[in-house]
Amino acid sequence: MTTGSTYTLQEINALSHDDFVQALSPLFEGPPWIVAEAWPSRPFRSLDHLHASLCAVMYAAPLEQQVALIRSHPDLVGRAALAGTLSPSSTHEQSAAGLDRLSDEEIAAFSRYNQAYRERFGFPFVICARENKKDSILAGFEQRLHNSPDQEIPLALGEVAKICLLRLRDLIRS
């Protein structure tokens, strides 16, 4: 995350519900329902405990809510990225994967894969960009396009969990 604000775990545990939601909402794309529902699990003993609590909320949500969470993610090298309107976290993550330095041919390939993936699953391809580079992301598209929706939804949620953990590590200082 590139917001600049960081917190200790003690400070996170002491936040009011509204301040907690505001501070942690950048961990996930879309509405902050996961963060809001995790607040009663305080006090968190560790960063891992906080992450596990957030993920437990995500994984326990109804399927429709999980799919809505996945749908809130931007396409990789999509319209928002090309227009410069991604969230600061997404901009940083796509840049870290080198997705801001693609040739016209590579942009076209991402566009084709994004379209094929959305047509197949009804939501964007989600992968933890900070753990990948353009070639592994393109390979991920090729591999995961063969999955069924029942296989792909848990994979996408697993990637959301990885993204959350990395953003959480940026947010919480020792």
Give yes or no for a contact between 164 and 29, defined as CB atoms under 8 angstroms apart. no
The DSSP-derived string for 118-173 is HHHHSS-----GGG--HHHHHHHHHHHTTS-HHHHHHHHHHHHHHHHHHHHHHHB-
Given 49, 51, 73, 146, the catalytic residue = 73
Q: Is 73 a catalytic residue?
A: yes
Beta bridge partners of 172: 7
Instruction: Give the pair of three-digit tokens for residue 75.
Output: 């396409």
- Angle at which helix 63-71 crosses helix 47-60, to 10 degrees, equals 110
The sign of the torsion formed by the CA atoms of 77, 79, 83, 86 equals: negative
Residue 82 tokens read as 């090309």
Residues marked as catalytic: 73
